[in-house]
Structure 1
Amino acid sequence: MTTSPSAPSSGAAPALDWRRIGSFATGQAAVQCGSFALLIAMSWTAVQLGGRHAVTIVILASTLPRALMLLFGGALADSLGPRAVLLRATATRLVVLVVGALVAASADSLWPLIAVAVVEGSLLGLTGPASGVLLTRLAPKEHLGRANSLFAMVMRLAPIAGSPLGAWLVVAGSLSHVMLVSAAGCAVWLLCAFYVTRGMARPERRSDANPSLFRRSGDGLLLLGAHPRLRWMFVACFCMDFAFLWPAEVALPLRAASEGWGIGSVAAALTAFSAGALAAAAAGAVLAHRIPVPVKLMVAGTGLAVCLGSMALVPSPALLAVAACAVGLFSGLNGPALVTAYQQAVPEGRLGAAMSTFSLSSIGAAPLSLAAFSSISAPLGVTGTWLLCAAVALFSPVAAALALRSPVTRKAPGAAEVSVAPEPTATAV
């Protein structure tokens, strides 16, 4: 795994380069906040222009290209390096948003939104894996968990700050104003990325590299097939995301309505979850390297599943909020640890492809969760289906335990395979 360029070569654990990590977090906070503001503003504008059908078109125009370009983004990050991908894609995104703001100011139709959504989603897909690669370059292995926890904090705060900002701007001003604010966030991230990636050389050309970018886009799936540790970590992440989406998006408001608790209980539960997740991520940014891996992966994963199930049984809105806060606490500890363990198990030179496939586990889990559990809820009911989701979440710590027992293979598929014994589970991620 590539470490920070400034890491010392002595036997002691290298320290984090907090200046670069701070710049990374600042840039990501700005660009993610702008992205969520733009998402809300585009959805609202689509409703005004064409109702529910228009919103569906705009969302699909953003999400489908993003999912597709994730695969190519990983291959590009491995071949060109994170610096080239991030700087070029972010600069292009900045130009697109500025041009989109000018067009949207004089247009009164849906097509500018669709065009911006397609390009925006494609560029986000390209830069997603590169950001994951960049984080491993900035943080040495001993402190990668802390960096991932800090990044998780940014991703938690971005919708909290960006969504109301986008809603206010689109009502008080127009979609063009929101696009310009999002462009400003891109500009901040571009400056931060330029500083953070300064001095990072382009990766050496792989001897086994496929000449076609299309063929290289499947490297992440090949890695899952060849490496048991990666495969089990992928399963652990997918099970958790798959089990969590339906209770949060569907079951929570349904239970609040059936119990007569009102929409305020839903808001309180979601707020409590966010507060718990933020608190755990903040603690992880300071202490993640001191917490043993089994605690973060198995104990926290089990606690998350148990608390998720308890939300289906608590008798009052207050206890529902307490259980949601506990879910957030365990999630803020478990989520970054899963990402870190996955990153550390990836063979050298293939992190971009691996992270692109890893991102698809979360993107693919959402629609599958909503479709599967919504159909099951008819015969089982809301409470029974919610408890089933909690049972599925218990497979995540089991898969994580199997991953830690699997050997780490340092070579990629196609090269001479060299496996090493499983890393001691007491080592902090």
Structure 2
Amino acid sequence: MTTTVIPPAVRPSAGPAHRDGNVLRWLGAYTASMIGDNVFYIALSWAAVRSGTPSQAGLVMAVSAVPRALLMLGGGVVADRFGPRRVVIGSDAVRCAAVLTVAALLFVAHPGLWLLALLAVVFGIVDAVFMPAVGALPARVTGRDQLARVQGLRGLAVRFANVVGAPLGGLGVALGGSATAFALAGLLIAVSVPLLISVRMRETPPDGGANTANTANTANTATAPVEAVGPVEDPDGAPVRGDASGPHARVPDAEDRAAAVPERPATAWRDLRDGLRYIRGHRVLAPLIVTIALGDLGFVGPLNVGLALLADRRGWGASGMGLVVAAFGAGAGAAALLLAWRGTLPRAGSAGAAALLGGSVAIGALAQVPGVGAAVGVALAIGLLAGLSGALCGALLQTQSDPAYLGRVTAVAGIVSLGLAPLSMPLTAAAVGWWGTGPVFAGSAVVCGLGGVVALAVRDLRRAELPR
């Protein structure tokens, strides 16, 4: 008799995410926290510059990246073990307390760089837990059919925070120095805590509906008869009950199950190994993370360090570079708005790959345009295509992952974006000095394009769809 495994049905949401008060409370909390982050980094950079040399200020700004990169995998385990909502609330509370404490100290004294470095390290440690939990939270806030729309709303929140946060931080510094800016950052982060407490968590099925894209005829599985259920295994492959497919099959009792599965402590290390094994064996997530890694490695260098060097060599000036950066942000915002409005796009895997390939071509073209006007147009296309690809990849990451593993999945993707991709910035600067902007931008375009090639070459990722 054929063994049939019935996945859980996808439960639709009560309404569109942008009209769901629960989602909007989460979005408000996320936006307030992100604006607070932007204000915090303005305050930190200003305080570091005023307290030490430029090299010391640069060290203070960079020191938070080390614990963030080293501890993020562990942060994913923490998010999955204790629940993303609890972890995000705790993380924001710790960040708020740390920033307000430093603000109070700066109001009464001038403790120097050591306090700023300590604050940066604390932020890096907390971010290692906060970021995976933030990535895992939307799956508990709304239904799978709305996760793509939530990803678009989240992208809009990030763009809004970037636009509003820096001027607010500058205003705080102008009104009362770094202490006032730190206090403003702490208050903004504090706003997120009661909003998060008011957010209701949805119950998710044991596997969250993940992997259903690889199972045929899942739309009507809620009413389909079950012919038989085969042996069930734990994450390490140990059987937990016998085959129940025979006519005289006996339902195993608790004693049978206890004898079949030796008790092993659920350690954090085992949880981490299980998460990495889950990603490695997943037919969509594994190539998707490779695609994200290649895309970020190709985009980050040229659009950060490379653009400044290109503007300097072409004589565009700071204002010209600002226009190009603004065009990129506008394009990325438009892509996020499109996904938030539509909620889904057909053939998401193929569409994300095509957008990534188109964006890679635009990156190579940016180094060839002579004037600011043409550069603004190309940057707008890069932002639109890169934003669309990033939003679709993020939505697929959310919808394809089992919620029980989503913190660890987000952590691995975060390490790629926050740990590996920034390494391309000093390499890009050095390469431009050796070979010029044209070859370096072309090489970055090739790396980025490889991400699109991987997505198109892997059948399951190419055919991946977002829930409707």
TM-score, normalisation: structure 1 = 0.86
Q: 1:186 to 1:284 in 2, by over 3 A?
A: same
- C-alpha separation in 2, matches of 1:199 and 1:326: 37
| 1:193 CA drift (Å) | 0.8
1:358 Cα shift?
A: 0.8
> Is this contact kept in 1: 2:311–2:318, CA < 8 A?
yes
Q: Shift of residue 292 of structure 1?
A: 3.1
Native 8 Å contact 2:297 2:420 kept in 1: yes
Determine the structure 1 residue equivalent to 2:22. Answer: 20
Which whole-Å CA distance do the structure 2 matches of 1:426 and 1:167 have between them? 43
Q: Report the CA distance between 1:266 and its aligned residue.
A: 0.6
Distance change >3 Å, CA 112–CA 188, structure 1 → 2? same
Q: How far is the alpha carbon of 1:13 from its aligned partner?
A: 6.9
CA contact (8 A) 1:71 1:218 kept: no
> How much has 1:172 moved relative to structure 2?
2.4
| 1:93 matches 2:68 | no
| Alignment-derived partner of residue 85 in structure 2 | 83
Listed as ranges, the gaps of 5+ residues in structure 1 are 1-8, 407-421
Counterpart position of 1:351: 406
1:225: which partner in 2?
280
Among residues 438, 442, 451, which one is paired with 1:396 in the alignment?
Answer: 451
Deviation at 1:149, TM superposition (A): 0.9
Match of 1:46 in 2: 48
Deviation at 1:381, TM superposition (A): 1.9
Higher alpha-carbon Rg: 2
Q: In the alignment, is residue 163 of structure 1 matched against residue 218 of structure 2?
A: no
Q: Match of 2:238?
A: none
- Give the equivalent residue in structure 1 for 2:193: 190
Go from structure 1 to structure 2 and tell me whether the alpha carbon gap of 1:395 and 1:98 turns closer, same or farther (over 3 Å shift). Answer: same
Output aligned runs, 1:251-400, within 5 Å.
251-294=306-349, 296-400=351-455
* 2:132 match: 129
> Secondary structure of 1:314's match?
coil
Q: In the alignment, which residue of structure 2 is the partner of 1:32? A: 34
Q: Deviations over 1:340-393 (max 9, x none)?
A: 212233245111111111111101233321243334334432111111111111
Q: Could you tell me how far 1:100 is from its partner in structure 2?
A: 1.9
Out of 369-378 and 153-162, give the one that drifted further: 369-378
Distance 2:340 2:28 in 1: 15
Contact 2:360 2:449 in 1 (8 A): yes
Aligned mates of 2:456, 2:282 — CA distance in 1: 15
Contact 2:399 2:467 in 1 (8 A): no
CA contact (8 A) 2:350 2:455 kept: no
Q: 1:151 aligned to 149, 154, 174, which one?
A: 154
3-state SS of 1:174 partner? helix
Paired position in structure 2 for 1:116: 119
Q: Look up the SS of the partner of 1:22 in the other structure.
A: helix
Residues 208-217 or 23-32, more deviating? 208-217
Query: Residue 210 of structure 1: CA displacement?
Result: 5.5
Q: Is the 8 A contact 1:83 1:200 kept in 2?
A: no
In 1, Cα distance between equivalents of 2:412 and 2:157: 22
1:254: how far off? 1.9
CA offset at residue 92 of structure 1?
2.3
Residues in 2 aligned to 1:357 and 1:425: alpha-carbon distance in whole angstroms: 20
Q: CA deviation at 1:187?
A: 1.8
**Which has the larger displacement, 84-93 or 210-219?**
210-219
**Contact 2:347–2:463 at 8 Å: present in 1 too?**
no
The equivalent of 1:411 in structure 2 is none
- In structure 1, the residue corresponding to 2:436 is in which secondary structure? helix
Q: Structure 1 residue 229: deviation in Å?
A: 2.3
TM-fit CA distance, 1:215: 4.9
Aligned to 2:247: none
Paired with 1:57 and 1:253, the residues of 2 have a C-alpha distance of 21
Structure 1 residues 48 and 13, CA, compared in 2 at 3 Å: closer, same or farther? closer
Q: Compare 58-67 and 46-55 and name the one that shifted more.
A: 58-67
Q: Is the 8 A contact 1:23 1:196 kept in 2?
A: yes
Q: Identity over the aligned pairs, expressed in percent?
A: 27
Distance 2:58 2:275 in 1: 29
